[in-house]
Structure 1
Amino acid sequence: MDIGTIGAGTVAQALARHAVAQGHRVVLSNSRGPASLAAVVQNLGPLAGAGTPEEAASAELVVLAVGWPQVPQAVAALPPFDGRIVIDATNQFAAPPPHSAIADLGELTGSEFVASRLPGARVVKAFNSLYVQYIAADPRHPAGRQVLFLAGDDPDAKATVKDLTSSFGFAPVDLGSLREGGRLMQLGGPLSGLHVLKQD
């Protein structure tokens, strides 16, 4: 599978590392241009490359992993998604830690807001509820696999993300729609920052 990332910070790099370990091709992108990612992709190996956000967004599956204030600008010029899958790993921080504040989106969940900015995308919320050290580490532990909460409105898209993340070693748990499930796992929800293992 070809995977693109919008954003190339710690979350995107952690997911890219899992992906290339499973034989997937990854194109990372950021707002500073491909040249700024030369060292990152060299470290990730030959299956990783750097591109523009537009190039990354043309992949079969796209990971959105930018800071919340950067979301509108990061997605504004992306090409139509035409049914392709976007994993939304963002959190709606109106202000970054340590002065954290949650953006007021009214009735919308964070991923519903993101989906409204990505016409044609099948958005699956995932990875936002885990601290990055739990994303980067091997999700397989002696006591079980790291649980990965996810939510989305398209069953087939969720099945694809479940299969992909299971191959990384995670134990995906489907929470339902972007409205109900997304509310459980977004900032302020009862599952945000909850790190649990599933015994197999």
Structure 2
Amino acid sequence: MRIGTLGAGIIARAVARHAIGQGHEVVLSNSRGPASLAPVVEDLGALATAATPAEAAAADLVLLAVPWPRIPDAVAALPRMDGTVVIDATNQFASSPPNPRIADLGDLTGSEYVSSLLPEARLVKAFNTLYAQFIAPDPRHEAGRQVLFLAGDDADAKHIVRDLTADFGFAPVDLGTLRAGGRLMQLGGPLSALHVLKQD
């Protein structure tokens, strides 16, 4: 599979490393241009390349991992993503630490908002409940596999993400729709920052 990233921070790099470990090609992008990613690509190896966001968005599957305030600009110039599976790894931090503030979306969940910006894509919420230090290493431990919560409105898209992340070594748990599952997973929800292992 060819996997694109919108954003190339710690979460995107961690997911990219897992993907490359399974033989997938990864196309990373950020707002500063491909040249700024040369050290990251060199570190990740031959299956990694850097490109523009539009080129990364043309991949088979796309990971959205940019800071919340930058999402509208990050997706505004993208081509239509008809049927593309997009993993939304974002959290609705309207401001960063030391004084983080959660964006007020009214009745919408964070993923429903993101989905409204990418209406042609098949959005799956995943990776947002885990701190980066639980994503980057091998998710398989002596006591079990790191649980990865996911949610989405498209059953086939969730199946793709579930199989992909299970190959990474995670134990994916489907929580249902973007509205119901996304509410559990988003900031302030009962599963946000919950790190648990599943025994096999």
In the superposition, the TM-score normalised over structure 1's length comes to: 0.99
* Matches for 1:1-200 after TM superposition, within 5 Å: 1-200=1-200
1:113: how far off? 0.3
Q: In structure 2, what is the Cα distance between the partners aligned to 1:105 and 1:80?
A: 24
1:118: how far off? 0.5
Instruction: For residue 81 of structure 2, give the secondary structure of its aligned residue in structure 1.
Output: coil
Q: In structure 2, what is the Cα distance between the partners aligned to 1:130 and 1:96?
A: 17
1:140: how far off? 0.2
Q: In structure 1, what is the Cα distance between the partners aligned to 2:147 and 2:153?
A: 20
1:14: how far off? 0.3
Q: In structure 2, what is the Cα distance between the partners aligned to 1:186 and 1:137?
A: 23
Q: CA RMSD in A?
A: 0.4
Stretches of structure 1 that go unaligned for 5 or more consecutive residues are: none
Which residue identity does 1:168 align to in structure 2? F
Which residue identity does 2:48 align to in structure 1? A
1:100: how far off? 1.1
Deviations for 1:17-47, whole angstroms, at most 9, x for unmatched residues?
0000000000000000000000000100000
Runs of 4 or more, structure 1, over 6 Å off, are none
Deviations for 1:136-181, whole angstroms, at most 9, x for unmatched residues?
0110000000000000000000000000000000000000000000
1:119: how far off? 2.1
Q: In structure 2, what is the Cα distance between the partners aligned to 1:56 and 1:119?
A: 18
Aligned residues: 200
Q: In structure 1, what is the Cα distance between the partners aligned to 2:110 and 2:119?
A: 15
Instruction: For residue 150 of structure 1, give the secondary structure of its aligned residue in structure 2.
Output: strand
Q: In structure 2, what is the Cα distance between the partners aligned to 1:196 and 1:97?
A: 25
Q: In structure 1, what is the Cα distance between the partners aligned to 2:3 and 2:185?
A: 24
Q: In structure 2, what is the Cα distance between the partners aligned to 1:119 and 1:104?
A: 21
Instruction: For residue 41 of structure 1, give the secondary structure of its aligned residue in structure 2.
Output: helix
Which residue identity does 2:10 align to in structure 1? T
Q: In structure 1, what is the Cα distance between the partners aligned to 2:39 and 2:70?
A: 23
Which residue identity does 2:144 align to in structure 1? G
